[in-house]
A and B are shown apart, each in its own frame.
Chain A
Amino acid sequence: GAGVSQSPSNKVTEKGKDVELRCDPISGHTALYWYRQRLGQGLEFLIYFQGNSAPDKSGLPSDRFSAERTGESVSTLTIQRTQQEDSAVYLCASSSGSGTGVYQAFFGQGTRLTVV
């Protein structure tokens, strides 16, 4: 697609439920990143994919968080047994190692997660 697409744009869930967030990167972008941004805060790195592998998942805050990427395209971030502190905007970005906009991170609009 023309840009990075994230779905849903908003998600309200009850504490303890599992949620799945989706990211469709720009076609051909090999690198994909997930970040968390709490209200009024900066970017918190969660995980980085190069192709379908995740060489750096050091930012995942707990074993309730997991992510996968398939076909060097779509990625899903899953949060199990959600807690109120998980409330935040989850941002996805993708980038390419070649071509126009090389190494530039293109961000989606984010998924706003609210745990009640």
Chain B
Amino acid sequence: AQSVTQLDSQVPVFEEAPVELRCNYSSSVSVYLFWYVQYPNQGLQLLLKYLSGSTLVESINGFEAEFNKSQTSFHLRKPSVHISDTAEYFCAVTLTGTGGFKTIFGAGTRLFVKA
């Protein structure tokens, strides 16, 4: 069965330190990959996505993720985090097939940036 695994439920990190939020998926078909972010008391919004082309994708606020097909991973990274990056991050995979398409979400990783 297809699934999305976010290996860390919580990641505490100091401000200006690098961070990596891990995401692995299981699927035997082509996938499209997404990271969504939920800031405190706000709704979920798209952070970045991979549909095709370059396997390294970036967001406007300095996050990046790399699609690794052989390792079935789409880890999210930022070289230097800010207090304002404190949020919950969700990895998602969209699968396509004859019946249409379906998106599966991971359970989420709570990033807590400390001063």
A residues lining the B interface (CB < 8 Å) = 30-31, 33, 35, 41-43, 45, 48, 50, 55-56, 91, 93, 95, 97, 102-105, 107-110
Complex Cα spacing A97 to B43, Å: 22
Contact B49 A104 (CB under 8 A): yes
Complex Cα spacing A45 to B108, Å: 12
Do A45 and B105 form a contact, CB below 8 Å, given A31-B100, A50-B99, A103-B51? yes
Do A31 and B36 form a contact, CB below 8 Å, given A42-B107, A103-B51, A104-B49? no
Partner of A103, one of B36, B88, B94, B99: B94
Closest 4 CB pairs of A and B: A42-B108, A42-B107, A103-B94, A107-B44
Residues of A within 8 A of B88 (CB): 42
Contact A35 B105 (CB under 8 A): yes
Partner of A104, one of B46, B90, B104, B105: B46
Q: How large is the interface on B (under 10, 10 to 19, 20 to 34, 35 or more residues)?
A: 20 to 34
A/B interface sample: 28 pairs, CB < 8 A: A31-B100, A31-B101, A35-B105, A42-B88, A42-B105, A42-B106, A42-B107, A43-B90, A43-B105, A45-B105, A50-B99, A50-B101, A50-B102, A55-B99, A55-B100, A91-B44, A95-B94, A97-B100, A103-B32, A103-B34, A103-B103, A104-B34, A104-B46, A104-B49, A105-B44, A105-B103, A107-B36, A107-B43
Contact B45 A107 (CB under 8 A): yes
Q: Is B92 an interface residue (CB 8 A)?
A: yes
Chain B nearest CB from A22 CB (Å) reads 17
Partner of B107, one of A43, A102, A103: A43
